[in-house]
Amino acid sequence: MNGAELESQYAVKTGNQNETEKHITDSIEYEIECPRCYNVMTLCSNFDTLFYSCEECDFSLYTFK
pLDDT at residue 28, as a whole number: 77
Range of the domain at 35: 3-62
**What is the domain count for the chain?**
1
pTM of the model: 0.56
pLDDT value for 8: 39
Q: Which of 20, 44, 19 is nearest to 30 (CA)?
A: 44
pLDDT in tens, 5-32: 444 344 444 455 555 555 555 677 899 9
Q: Is the pLDDT of residue 1 over 70?
A: no
Reported as a single tens digit per residue, the pLDDT across 31-51 is: 999 999 999 999 999 888 999
3-state SS, one letter per residue, for the chain: CCHHHHHHHHHHHHHHHHHHHHHHHHCCCCEEECCCCCCEEEEEECCCCEEEEECCCCCEEECCC
